[in-house]
Each structure stands twice: as structure tokens, then as C-alpha cells.
A and B are shown apart, each in its own frame.
Chain A
Amino acid sequence: MFRKIHLGALFFGLVLPKMLLAATVYETQAEFLDRAFNQLPPDPGVAWISGDRKSAVYQLLGHDYPALRIRYWCRDTRSAWILDEVGKDLPITVGVVIVDNFIESLRVLTYRENRGGEVATPSFTQQFNGSALDDDYSLDTHIDGITGATLSVRALSRLAALALFLQSDVGCSDGS
């Protein structure tokens, strides 16, 4: 019994905090924006998640977005979004670049879960390129799953759909 408790204490005292803190940063926000806007990112705008937009976001994610406002960067019909969504236990930070209502690129910026990091590989994220929203606010592109990373794959798909929705909802898609 004591051995069990000691092992438990070791796991929760030493291993778990490290798991919680472990995060892989693939690209910083500044690098992402420089890439999205050719080294000259515009000033950020803010999309408040309230009213009808809040309801729509809930429909897309299956839950409320964990913040009341989302920052975005928009120039002409190009916009960049940095969004968070929990895969299994911890948020995955994703950067999405949208041009004319189509995803130009989707990149995992920070991955915090201890399993399922394969979703950050370019071979996976490139599947989102060219995706748009169909009439029922789903991605019009089939995304192949990854064994052992199902929840992370779903999280990225939800974020891709959310970014496309927000892009059209805030009016960036018409160049405003």
C-alpha cells in the first residue's frame, strides 16, 4: 500500500506537473504573422464572442470558446487567426491563414498534450489547404485521421471551421 502511495505521489508530484508544463512551440505568434503577411503584419482587430456569434461558435465547437474575444489580423481579403482548442486535456494553439474564404495554411503553433503531436506535421496540416465552409458550416474537405490522435485531429478540424466562420462573420472576407 505504501509503495502504491509513494508511486502515486511520485507521479502526481513530479511527472504530472512536468506533463502539464511540457509544450512544444513550433512557431511563435510573431513568426506566424510575419509569414502570413510577408513580414508586414497589420494591426490586430478583435472579434467579440457574444450574441449570435457566440451561438454560432457554440454550434461549431460543441462548447463555448474559452475566451470572450479573439484577436485577428486582416488585410484585404487575407486574414490570420490564432485560436486555441483543447484536444484531450490541454489547449492546442493553431494559426490559420485564410484568403478569399479558403484556408491558405493551417499550422500548429503550440502543442501541449503529451500524445497526438503528429497533428503538427506538415503532411497532416496540408490537408486543410484550400478548405472552405459548406452550407452547414462544416469543412468541405475530408481530413484523414491519425491513429492515436483522434481528439487532436477533431480539435484542429473544429478550429479550421471556426476560423473560416469568423473570417466571413467579421467582414474581412469582403476586404473591409
Chain B
Amino acid sequence: MVRKKHRVSVMRRLHRTLGASAAIFILFMALSGLAINHTQDLELDRKHVSQSLLLGWYGIGGPAQIRSYTAGGNWLSFADSRVYFNGNFLSTLANGVGAVFNGDLLVAAGGEELLLVDREGGLIERIHWDQPDSGAIDSIGLLENGMVLVRSAENLWVADTQMLRWQPLEQATVTAGWSELAEEPEEIRQAVIQQYRGAGLSMERLLLDLHSGRIFGPAGILVYDILALIVGFLAISGVILWLRGPGNGKKKYKKF
């Protein structure tokens, strides 16, 4: 009888100690679980982490290369398949080859697509480049009259003023200013790197890794496993203690 009471008392002490110790963990799991369940409502998959320490922890570095071009006093920078307008993310565009400003529109050229951009960096249109008998875009430039032209597989194509249609152009007749690489200012470079790194880690990914413990590597998973077992123990010990009744294990005081 005494032994049984002692067992219950030990269980109660363990239940209380472990329960208090695990409270923060349980609270965190509940809140992170709630957030993960409502990822879309909270737009966690669209929000990105910009904290440098966290990005470094994930091994997310800057782009391998930044290629920048000036157009109309603005900087268009290509980093992998992303393009930035004055250091701010504009859109995705693979294999960037240049950018020009025709006095009205900025035109950024990738290998397979062109982006029309207004003066404030708003995307007007994404143009898919698939002219017949032409390959990927090699370069983009301006004619003396401000018309936009591109070079593709050694052929030249010139756009109309609205950038809706393209016409082939004879090489010999053309005097064009081609978009050329330029070295971007340091603040533009840093802004691009910061945003590029931030785009690599969504809040959803971070929360999932925090929720599972994977953010801390194998040790984190092990700790979370132990905590999960503790929560399981708390559930079982709680039921047992409840079944034993409210008096068991409590110190009894003599009434005077």
C-alpha cells in the first residue's frame, strides 16, 4: 500500500515537473501548428525571411553572378532567373541579356522572354519570344530613331512602337546602340543580394522546420522526439492520476 502510494507520488511529481518544463514547447507547437494550418490565409508561403543570421544558417548565399544594365537612368540587374529594378525584385526572367529605354518604356530582355516595364518599375507585359526561325535572344538595343531591336541567331528583329509586332531587319542597314554590361553601384548590388537571399527562404519553410525540429539538424529532431515522448507521458500520467482520484498522493493534514 505504501509502495503504491509512493509510486503515485513519484508519478505526480514527474507529471508536474515535466508538465511545467514542456509547457513552453507545447505552447510553441500549438501556435506554430496553427500557423502552418493557415499558411495560405496568412500568406506565409509568400512572405520571406530577410534575417541574415537565419539565411546564413540555411546556407543561402548570394547569387553566383549579378549582371546589370542601365536603361533610362535605372538599373536592371539579373541574378540567376530573377530581374531587379533599381535593386527591387521585378519579376522572373531567365538568361538576361540586356535592357533598353526607348523614352517611354523600359524593355528587359531574357533569352526567351522580354519584359516591358514602366518608369516606376511596374511590369506592363511579359512577351514570349518565339519568332519563327529564330533562336534565343542574344542582345537588345535601340535604333537611332528609338525603335527597339533584338539580335537572335544572327538575325535582327525590330519592334513596332507599341511592342506588339516584330519585323526582320537587314543587318547592313542598321546602326544600333546595343545594351552593354555595366558595373552596378554598391548599394544596388547589396539590395539585390539581400532580396535574392530572402527569396530563398519562405516563412512557411522556416515554420515547418521549427515545428519539426529539423532547423537544428539531427540533434534537433532527437530533442523533439524526446519532447514528444514527454508529452505522451504527460497524457498517460494525467489520465492515471485522474483515475486515482483527487486525494491520492496529496499530503494529508490533520485537522485540529
Contact = CB atoms under 8 A, between A and B. Distances in A.
Interface of A: 1, 3-13, 16-17, 20-21, 28-30, 43-44, 46, 66-71, 82, 84, 88-91, 93
Given A17-B81, A20-B92, A43-B165, A9 B128 contact: no
A88 B200 CA distance: 15
Interface residues of B, number: 29
B80 interface: yes
Contacts of A68: 118, 122-125
Contact of B80 (A17, A29, A67, A69): A17
Nearest to A10: B59
Interface of B: 45, 57-61, 80-81, 91-92, 94, 116, 118, 122-128, 130-132, 162, 164-165, 200, 217-218
B201 to A, nearest CB: 8
Given A8-B60, A68-B118, A84 B165 contact: no
Given A17-B81, A30-B130, A43 B217 contact: no
A87 to B, nearest CB: 11
A12 B123 CA distance: 27
A30 B132 contact: yes
Contact of A13 (B61, B130, B162, B218): B61
Given A21-B94, A71-B164, A12 B60 contact: yes
12 contacts: A7-B59, A8-B59, A12-B59, A12-B61, A16-B200, A17-B81, A20-B81, A43-B164, A67-B124, A68-B118, A71-B164, A90-B92
Given A21-B81, A88-B45, A67 B165 contact: no
Given A6-B59, A21-B81, A29 B128 contact: yes
A5 B57 contact: yes
Contact of A67 (B94, B125, B164): B125
Contacts of A91: 92
A93 B131 CA distance: 18
Contacts of B131: 30
Contacts of B132: 30
A36 B71 CA distance: 37
Nearest to A21: B81
B130 to A, nearest CB: 5
B75 to A, nearest CB: 21
